[in-house]
Chain A
Amino acid sequence: MKYEVIIGLEIHIETKTNTKMFSSASSLFDAPANSNVSVVDMAFPGTLPTVNKKAVQNAIMLGHALNMEIDDELHFDRKNYFYSDLPKGYQITQQRRPIGSNGYLDIYVNDTKKRIRIERIHMEEDTAKQIHLGEVTLIDYNRAGNPLVELVTEPDLRSADEAMAFVEAVREIVTFLEISDGKMEEGSLRCDVNISLRPVGVSKFGNKVEIKNMNSISNIGKAIETEIKRQVNYLIKGLKLKVRHGGMTMPLKIQLQCVKKMKALIIDIFLKEIFYQFL
């Protein structure tokens, strides 16, 4: 049986600003640990977020470059989950009304033009950086609150080559617009790949696997090729592929099984509280 590969990308772009998305602290996170942190980034009670104008301009420029509809109002939502790299206990993001929607980008693979639809771009803030040293976890809040634009494509990509060409095209755009340095190896452009297979001719999507935090364009290609082979193997054997979220280490050896989605933890933590209270 022949299979068709369905790929969608989520690209996080760190945009260039002097200060953070919602505070006046410097957005340089390469500084000595915890030196660029304000009370807002630490979520001290009583502090309030104020939006960074430059970050909004950056997002609007990207939106125009990607042929998107730009929202005429600015809306933010608070995405609530507990994790140690998220000092506020919520991430300020644009769940309901992204700044840009319904865009597209034309890419060229082997001199053939293909139009990739873009579902949305939205602004959000980065999390703190964690350094795990055995039993101890150190948190560097320099990165917490840095401006990000997340770009989400429609599942229009059909091969590793197309995915690589798309990321390259986005990188060219953001560097040309000077809204990001686009350096994947330094994490200023990070890519998650959603990938699923379906028999040719079938319209229903198969179960998808998410590969997170790819740090170079060639690694995106390699990861996709590997994942396609793995999924084909599964499907040939008639096994059902579980929806899962994988992480990837740099030399592309192991794909980690399902990093726990922390969102699910909110409820657990609350239940525990109640449990402790009445124990």
Chain B
Amino acid sequence: MRYLGLTMTELHELYVSGKATPLDVVNEVIEALTKDKNNILEKTMYDEARSMAQSLTKVEKDNLLWGIPFLVKDNIAMKGIETTGSSNILNGFIPLCNAEVIDKLLAAKAIPVAKTTLDEFGMGGRGETGHKGITYNPYGKERTRIVGGSSSGSASGVASGYVPFAVGSDTGDSIRKPASFAGLVGFKPTWGEISRFGLFAFMPTLDHVGFFTRSVSEARVLFEKTRGYDKKDATSVMNVPFKTEKDATLKGKKVAVLEPIFALMKNKLLIKEFHNLVDKLRQAGAVVDFVPFDKDLLAAIFPTYFILSCAEANVSNACLTGIGFGNKEEGASYEEIVANTRGKGFSSRIKYRLMLGQYALKKENRNEYYDRAQKARRLIVEAVDKVLENYDVIMLPAAPNHAPTVDKQSEPHSEIENNFMAIANFGGNPSLTLPYFLDEGLPLGVNLTGKPFDDFNVLNIALKIEEITGLYNLHAGLKS
């Protein structure tokens, strides 16, 4: 266990000083992954990882990603590697090309080691609905707590200390919620900054690619290496000025806490620690205000998200018919083939969502549901923009509590304090979760959401908060 639990920066120093090679590290990572008990793995690529590590002999001193092993959420395509979205309908599906984010990481010589579990096609928030069952949190008693979803395997793997970072995707809070439960930095940059080519579409206008890391500066490194226009993704952004501040300080930064959401928090320790953080931010020269927000709009976040995401998921997943590719079932006609393939391939939970989506899009309902949800989305985005006119970031606890236990009944989906982070998907805002305290050894995260294309400002503020909390490179499960 010489290399596990190290950050990218620490591994890089070992490489540069010649004290370790990528192969040494990859071998140790593979050994740890084979012993993993938290059900994080989909397809592994140990042989490919070893041979890539072996081929890396000339260390690149100014490339922090050189020889760094990482994990990839299984809804992100990799050429020649089975990619299922943790759904039976894509068992055996082998993509013909890499996602753009993977190509960029490979070009930087980072080494993918395995695909990780998720809630089936990203539809879920607890990491319990993938075709391999529940993914567990390495924190707490073994195999008792969820790690959250939908990027569950990626979160659990980084929190276990196996690898310094993992690729995830975020449609509602699928990176930022598990980051809170797993004591990680989870960053979803502005919509359009990182190409989504190769990410299985769930709801295209809310889908983001992002990362789990164990420090803010490493999230920043990954962002810098993977951002940029991609001609294969028409929604990726061209020519956005590279805004970066050196010697960032909290002095004069303005932080808004949405008072009505914070008021919903019941965990006394959380409230105390949050106020504690606010005090420290103020001491460091930041302005922190508790600001009002329209409660009706807050109540609309979840229904808006649910209607839009189900409706678009219904269309995004319409290609899964078994006719062109995928896990085809037999049938006497094409209708039967499609019905059998989808009937057997999707779990009932997915079917429920797709049915709802179909209902919301039906000609006679579209006005009432889909169109109104789009309008509500616009109103929510406008209200958030209005707050951000006067503030650098909105800061809130990323979750009302630490990671729940597996047996605990899932909270009603509609609770505002559990779902508000979707606002950053509605507006495509950069949004980051980082740990700010531990409750009996279980981490909790604070979330920062900034203005679109103000990613570096968000990262800089997060970096300062990390300095305040001192919670850097947290991981569990490597105590031996």
Instruction: Name the CB-closest residue of A to B196.
Output: A48
Point out the residue from B85, B197, B343, B351 that lies within 8 Å of A47, measured CB to CB.
B197
- Tell me the smallest distance from the CB of B361 to a CB of chain A, in Å: 7
Q: Are B334 and A46 in contact (CB under 8 A)?
A: no
Q: How many A-B residue pairs lie within 8 Å, measured between CB atoms?
A: 111
Measured between beta carbons, the chain A residues less than 8 angstroms from B344 are 276
- Across the interface, do A266 and B358 meet the contact criterion of CB distance under 8 Å? yes
Evaluate contact between A270 and B196: CB separation under 8 angstroms. Answer: no
Contact B234 A89 (CB under 8 A): no
Q: Which residues of B contact A269 (CB under 8 A)?
A: 335, 338-339, 342
Using A43-B324, A88-B319 as known contacts, say yes or no to A277 and B77 having CB atoms under 8 A apart.
no
| Distance of A58 from chain B, by nearest CB (Å) | 18
Q: Is A267 located at the chain interface by the 8 A CB criterion?
A: yes
Q: Are A44 and B325 in contact (CB under 8 A)?
A: yes
How distant is the Cα of A275 from the Cα of B335 in the complex, in angstroms? 14
User: Known contacts being A42-B324, A48-B232, A269-B342, is A84 close to B76, with CB within 8 Å?
Assistant: no
* B300 CB–A CB distance under 8 Å: no
Cross-chain contact B355 with A270 (CB below 8 angstroms): yes
CB contact under 8 A between A273 and B334, given known A39-B97, A46-B99, A89-B318: no
A51 (CB) vs chain B CBs: closest residue: B234
**Cβ–Cβ contact B334 & A45, under 8 A:** no
Q: Is the CB of B77 within 8 A of A45?
A: yes
Minimum CB–CB distance for A246 against chain B, Å = 22
- C-alpha spacing A273/B331, complex, angstroms: 13
Contacts of B334 in A (CB 8 A): 83-84, 137
Residues on the B chain within 8 Å of A274, using CB:
343, 351, 355
Chain A residues lying within 8 Å of B321, measured Cβ to Cβ, are 82, 84, 89
For B335-368 the 0/1 string (1 means CB < 8 A from A) is: 1001110111010100100110010010000000
Within 8 A of B (CB), among A233-279: 265-270, 272-277
**B354 adjacent to A270 (CB under 8 Å):** yes
Contact of A80 with B318 in the complex, beta carbons under 8 Å: yes
Find the residue from A84, A137, A141 having the highest chain B CB count within 10 A. A84
Contact of A273 among B95, B198, B351, B361 (CB under 8 A): B351
Q: Is the CB of A276 within 8 A of B340?
A: yes
Find chain A residues with CB under 8 A from B93 CB.
45
CB-CB contacts below 8 Å: B179-205 with A: 196-201, 204
A195 to B83, CA, bound (A): 50
**A48/B197 in contact, CB under 8 A:** yes
Closest A-chain residue to B358, C-beta based?
A: A270
| Chain A residues closer than 8 Å to B315, beta-carbon distance | 78, 80, 89-90
- Selected from B197, B320, B342, B358, the residue in CB contact (under 8 A) with A46 is B197
| B323 lies within 8 A of chain A by Cβ | yes
- Decide if B240 is an interface residue (CB 8 Å cutoff): no
B90 touches A45 (CB 8 A): yes
> For residues 29 through 44 of chain A, which have their beta carbon under 8 Å from a beta carbon of chain B?
39, 42-44
**Residues from 355 to 407 in B contacting A, C-beta threshold 8 Å:** 355, 358, 361
A80 touches B361 (CB 8 A): yes
Alpha-carbon gap, A88 to B314, bound state (A): 12
A80 to B316, CA, bound (A): 10
Partner of A87, one of B198, B319, B339, B361: B319
Interface string of B49-86 (1 = CB under 8 A from A): 00000000000000000000000000111000001010
Chain B residue at minimum C-beta to C-beta distance from A82 = B338
Q: Does B275 contact A (CB under 8 A)?
A: no
Bound form: Cα–Cα A80–B344 in Å: 21
Contact A87 B96 (CB under 8 A): no
**Chain B positions within 8 Å of A49 at CB level:** 234
Whether a CB of chain B sits under 8 angstroms from the CB of A226 is no
Say yes or no for B413: interface residue by CB 8 A criterion.
Answer: no
Q: Which residues of B contact A82 (CB under 8 A)?
A: 318, 321, 335, 338
Q: Is B37 positioned at the interface, with any CB of A under 8 Å from its CB?
A: no
**Contact A267–B343 (Cβ < 8 Å):** no
Q: Is B233 an interface residue (CB 8 A)?
A: yes
**Chain B residue nearest to A77 in the complex (CB):** B315
Nearest CB in chain B: distance from A265 CB, A? 7
**Residues A48 and B234 in contact in the complex (CB < 8 Å), given A82-B318, A84-B323, A269-B335:** yes
Quick check: is B231 within 8 A (CB to CB) of the other chain?
A: yes
List the B residue with the shortest CB-CB distance to A37: B324
> What chain B residues lie within 8 Å of A80 (beta carbons)?
314-315, 318, 361
Q: What A residues does B196 contact at CB under 8 A?
A: 48
Q: Complex formed: what's the CA distance from A42 to B97 in Å?
A: 13
Given contact pairs A78-B315, A265-B335, A277-B343, A46 touches B201 in the complex (Cβ within 8 A):
yes
Q: Which residues of B contact A18 (CB under 8 A)?
A: none
Residues of B within 8 Å of A268, CB to CB, are: 335
In angstroms, Cα B315 to Cα A266, docked, is: 11
Instruction: Kindly state whether residue A175 has any CB partner on chain B within 8 Å.
Output: no
Chain A residues engaging chain B, CB cutoff 8 angstroms:
39, 42-51, 78, 80, 82-84, 87-90, 137, 139, 141, 265-270, 272-277
**18 pairs of residues in contact across A and B, judged by CB atoms under 8 Å:** A39-B97, A44-B324, A45-B85, A46-B77, A46-B198, A46-B201, A78-B315, A80-B361, A82-B318, A82-B335, A83-B334, A84-B323, A89-B321, A265-B335, A267-B358, A269-B342, A273-B351, A277-B351
| Residues of B that sit less than 8 Å from A by CB | 75-77, 83, 85, 90, 93, 95-97, 99, 196-201, 204, 231-235, 314-315, 317-321, 323-325, 334-335, 338-340, 342-344, 346, 348, 351, 354-355, 358, 361
Given contacts A45-B200, A48-B197, could you give 16 more A-B pairs where the C-beta distance is less than 8 Å?
A: A44-B325, A45-B75, A45-B93, A46-B99, A48-B196, A49-B234, A50-B234, A51-B234, A80-B314, A87-B319, A90-B318, A269-B338, A270-B354, A272-B339, A273-B343, A273-B346
The 9 A-B pairs of least Cβ separation, nearest first, read A89-B318, A43-B319, A276-B343, A272-B339, A273-B343, A46-B77, A84-B334, A46-B198, A45-B200
